[in-house]
């Protein structure tokens, strides 16, 4: 059974039936290009139907490594940037909630913290201080092993690990997720005897959440990665084997591209559950790096409702009309919580006393959807069944396929990211890295 339902609240001002009919064959052609690996960047599309092709022996090693980390460590430090950490963090918060590390500490489970995704001395010093006196392990994730942000963090936490345990034991507590054969991190891992897991050559960083990149941290945090992969296979099978009229993912692609051609060049991924905040961060990288090139692309933003309705809600409602929203809601939230009764009713909540807060949250969604649609902000809606591994898998697969199809539909290579390197060249030149002397001339 599908864990995801797609619908929209768009009137004929922005969407007419003949437009769907006209774009449909082009969407189908773009999808064929993705599935048949005939488009630009197709060498990086091994993530399509990945559950059918992943290494089962490595999957079992991931499970055993997670068990070992749980047995020996109070904390796992996951070091990586971009796709090397966003997917894992999104999944962990989706499955465990916003305060997962405090909950894990209370329940004496392994906490999972992330480092190497910025160059802040303050952040890393705070984290070093936080793990003082705790047993910890490291999962360093990098294809090359030379990316600046994670390399700095790895030096810091490796030094701390060696200082605490000695060189030999420190090596047993380092898990490297990297290239199968080459690169600086792979060389160090082989030399020092770290246990290693593979970032597949045919899968770009932002698509790696269902590989060892995401699976090891997710498993350490208690996620059922076996169920995650079973449901991912079901999702791929569903979206690959249905025609356009029954394929929610293709309909999403068609509608968002029709809206884009009418000047809606900003897409806001909105949610009504705070534990979806980091999923939106993963989504922003997925769509921003995939579509934003050749002076094209829909700008990906995110909003956390109802919180952000009290900050950017005004500009969404009444600002420039270049926005559309894709809103994620949960049909069956994990927790039910009832509003208590108070005799004096000074806060004027008497009319909703005894109601489930989830019901009120849903009414906030419906009211906002109506207001924004009436105000000229088309709304697309994704309803997840629940916040389990099954729903998470469907959501990941839905968006990964959608961004690939959208990229080909707009005539770009959705699987490279040439612009990401520009800031690095300038930074290296400013830091006087050998070989970059002429960059700023």
Q: Stretch 17-41: mean pLDDT, rounded?
A: 94
Banded model confidence at residue 317, pLDDT cuts 50, 70, 90: very high
- Cα(127)–Cα(122) distance, integer angstroms: 9
Query: Do residues 302 and 268 make contact, with C-beta atoms less than 8 angstroms apart?
Result: yes
Q: State yes or no: is 281 an active-site residue.
A: no
Residue 210's pLDDT is 98
Which two tokens mark 383?
A: 């309803």
- Cα(112)–Cα(92) distance, integer angstroms: 9
Residue 43 CA: distances (Å) to CA of 36, 37, 278, 407: 11, 8, 28, 15
pLDDT surpasses 90 at 372: yes
Q: Stretch 147-158: mean pLDDT, rounded?
A: 95
Name the residue with higher pLDDT: 438 or 89.
89
Residue 441's pLDDT is 64
Residue 245's pLDDT is 87
Residue 426's pLDDT is 77
Domains of the chain (ranges, CATH numbers) = 4-38+228-410 (3.40.50.10490), 50-223 (3.40.50.10490)
Residue 343's pLDDT is 86
Residue 439's pLDDT is 65
**433 exposed, middle or buried (CB, 10 Å; 0-12, 13-18, 19+)?**
middle
- Cα(76)–Cα(144) distance, integer angstroms: 21
Banded model confidence at residue 422, pLDDT cuts 50, 70, 90: confident
Banded model confidence at residue 345, pLDDT cuts 50, 70, 90: confident
5, 68, 109, 424: the active-site residue: 424
Percentage of residues in the chain with pLDDT exceeding 90? 86
Output the pTM of the full model: 0.95
pLDDT surpasses 90 at 347: no
DSSP state of 323: E
Which two tokens mark 217?
A: 């941290």
Q: What is the mean pLDDT of the chain?
A: 94
Residue 431's pLDDT is 66
273, 289, 389, 400: the active-site residue: 289
CA atoms within 13 A of residue 15's CA, in its CB half-sphere:
23
Query: Do residues 99 and 38 make contact, with C-beta atoms less than 8 angstroms apart?
Result: no
Q: What is the pLDDT of residues 32-77, one digit of tens each?
A: 999 999 999 999 999 999 999 999 999 999 999 999 999 999 999 9
Secondary structure of residue 388 in the 3-state scheme: coil
- Cα(159)–Cα(149) distance, integer angstroms: 16
- Cα(364)–Cα(270) distance, integer angstroms: 13
Q: What is the pLDDT of residues 168-182, one digit of tens each?
A: 999 999 999 999 999
Q: State yes or no: is 158 an active-site residue.
A: no
Query: Do residues 23 and 394 make contact, with C-beta atoms less than 8 angstroms apart?
Result: no
Residue length, the chain? Answer: 441
Which secondary structure element, helix H or strand E, spans residue 112, and what is its range? strand 111-115
pLDDT surpasses 80 at 97: yes
Place of tokens 């909630």: 97
pLDDT surpasses 80 at 430: no
Torsion of CA 214, 217, 223, 228, to 10 degrees: 10
Residue 71 CA: distances (Å) to CA of 76, 225, 305, 362, 391: 11, 18, 38, 41, 29
CA atoms within 13 A of residue 254's CA, in its CB half-sphere:
26
pLDDT surpasses 70 at 157: yes
Percentage of residues in the chain with pLDDT exceeding 70? 97
Q: What is the pLDDT of residues 256-309, one digit of tens each?
A: 999 999 999 999 999 999 999 999 999 999 999 999 999 999 999 999 999 999
- Cα(376)–Cα(355) distance, integer angstroms: 32
- Cα(67)–Cα(50) distance, integer angstroms: 24
């Amino acid at each position: 059974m599908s864990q995801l339902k797609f619908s929209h609240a768009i009137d004929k001002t922005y969407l007419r039936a003949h437009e769907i009919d006209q774009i449909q064959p082009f969407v189908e052609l773009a999808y064929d290009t993705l599935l048949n690996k005939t488009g630009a960047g197709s060498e990086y599309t091994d993530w399509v139907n990945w559950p059918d092709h992943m290494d089962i022996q490595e999957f079992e090693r991931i499970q055993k490594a997670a068990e070992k980390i749980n047995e020996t460590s109070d904390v796992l430090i996951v070091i990586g940037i971009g796709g090397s950490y966003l997917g894992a963090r999104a999944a962990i918060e989706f499955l465990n909630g916003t305060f997962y590390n405090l909950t894990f500490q209370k329940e004496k489970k392994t906490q999972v913290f992330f480092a190497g995704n910025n160059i802040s001395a303050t952040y890393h010093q705070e984290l070093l201080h936080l793990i003082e006196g705790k047993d910890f392990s490291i999962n360093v994730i990098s294809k090359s092993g030379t990316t600046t942000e994670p390399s700095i963090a790895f030096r810091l936490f490796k030094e701390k690990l060696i200082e605490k345990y000695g060189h030999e034991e420190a090596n047993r507590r380092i898990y490297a997720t990297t290239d199968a054969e080459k690169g600086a991190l792979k060389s160090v891992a082989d030399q020092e005897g770290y246990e290693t897991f593979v970032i597949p050559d045919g899968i770009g960083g932002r698509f790696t959440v269902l590989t060892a990149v995401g699976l090891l941290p997710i498993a350490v945090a208690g996620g059922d990665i076996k169920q995650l992969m079973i449901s991912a296979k079901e999702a791929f099978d569903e979206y690959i084997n249905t025609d356009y009229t029954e394929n929610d993912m293709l309909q999403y692609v068609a509608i968002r591209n029709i809206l884009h051609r009418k000047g809606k060049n900003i897409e806001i991924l909105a949610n009504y559950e705070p534990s979806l905040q980091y999923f939106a961060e993963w989504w922003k990288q997925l769509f921003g790096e995939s579509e934003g090139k050749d002076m094209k692309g829909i700008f990906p933003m995110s909003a956390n409702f109802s919180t952000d309705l009290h900050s950017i809600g005004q500009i969404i409602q009444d600002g420039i009309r270049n926005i559309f929203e894709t809103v994620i809601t949960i049909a069956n939230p994990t927790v039910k919580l009832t509003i208590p009764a108070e005799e004096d009713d000074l806060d004027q909540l008497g009319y909703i006393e005894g109601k489930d807060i989830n019901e009120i949250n849903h009414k906030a969604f419906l009211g906002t959807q109506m207001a924004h649609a009436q105000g000229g902000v088309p709304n697309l809606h994704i309803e997840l069944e629940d916040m389990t591994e099954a729903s998470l898998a469907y959501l990941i697969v839905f968006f990964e396929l959608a961004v690939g199809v959208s990229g080909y539909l707009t005539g770009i290579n959705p699987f490279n990211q040439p612009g990401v390197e520009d800031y690095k060249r300038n930074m290296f030149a400013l830091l006087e890295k050998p070989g970059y002397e002429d960059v700023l001339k």
